[in-house]
Structure 1
């Protein structure tokens, strides 16, 4: 029996979820691109309470590691690290693209690569590619402008907060691009990826921040 607490603060929503053997037991979410540091701790506490569990009864703590906003990622990572250390449980990293892909219907993922695209707010998107039939990113996200998008090697499903613009750009080129409803990562979807990692069905990933570009805010020295 695998019990996983998953936490996400990568983009304009923060969330926490408790999964047991891949089944969602409790979840909380709050939209907005600020305040993750204050919102996430009570969310984690609430999902544990709703599931009737203590942190020491978990098998692992999962966290979305990015790409995403510097402040939100750090808040989620710090909380996950604190819970994991206090409970003596392992930490599992999940990329933003992997969490977005896990929310795409399995039938779609079976035949299409998932292109997860995150708006970096600097005129580019961060492209993370997930192969068909997989939930594991095989390479680091690539920062590109919409005009510089590479040619897909087959049908793609587009997810992420920049999905609408990217899917339209690909369609204008004549590519087979399906716009999905998976626009923001969610802790419940991240928990599904983490469960596969815990079971050894996906390559491991450390719970360390994945910054594709230097943060807009300079971290303390």
Structure 2
């Protein structure tokens, strides 16, 4: 893999784009865009690639978080990543949120649970590579000591600690650019197949077909 990688994350409330040279972030943009992600992300990507002093075709890989997370954010960020990869002939790889957060704690000696925001007061928990949605009042019981990361980690840690479980709260709430790039490089170094850039949806979409079916197309 070439030294420079582009990473993109819009799985949660904010968004992040960065270009890294090895383990060093050379350009980064992040925030909560007021306009549509599909409009903002390409601008951020162009700015980061330009600030890094390279062309898009010089990238060795593009990594994009695939969830669990926001339907809208995942659709937009993955589509943009695939568009950039196709135009520049650069491979695009998916990064699960659990993989990225785990890469941020290579020396952790206990299982890491990643707690992320879901709809209707629920949380997504990614444990051992498997993601599921839970009500905050009906969280699963850990089988032993665990660590927690993610934007809902504080709330989940408080509930589990109140029930007497051994919980270590990490300081990682958002998915960092260095962690995303590290997850990408760890897979390559281990010779493991990289994840396809496809959304990791946990909940079904809220949209439903009308009970009477779709109306026929106008003649």
Shorter chain as denominator, the TM-score bin is: 0.7 to 0.9
2:176 to 168, 186, 190: 186
Which of 1 and 2 has greater Rg?
A: 2
Give 1:102 shift. Answer: 3.2
- Larger RCO: 1 or 2 (CA < 8 Å, sep 6+): 1
Matches within 5 A, 1:153-168: 153-168=143-158
Runs of 4+ more than 6 Å apart: none
Contact 1:70 1:217 in 2 (8 A): no
In structure 2, the residue matched to 1:59 is 60
Superposition RMSD on alpha carbons, in Å? 2.3
Q: How high is the TM-score relative to the length of structure 2? A: 0.86
Alignment-derived partner of residue 113 in structure 2 = 115
Number of matched pairs: 209
Deviation at 1:202, TM superposition (A): 4.7
> How far is 1:178 from its partner?
1.4
Matches within 5 A, 1:1-221: 1-31=2-32, 35-103=36-104, 105-107=105-107, 109=108, 111-130=109-128, 137=129, 139=130, 141-200=131-190, 202-217=192-207
Distance 1:184 1:11 in 2: 8
CA distance in 2 between counterparts of 1:13 and 1:218 reads 27
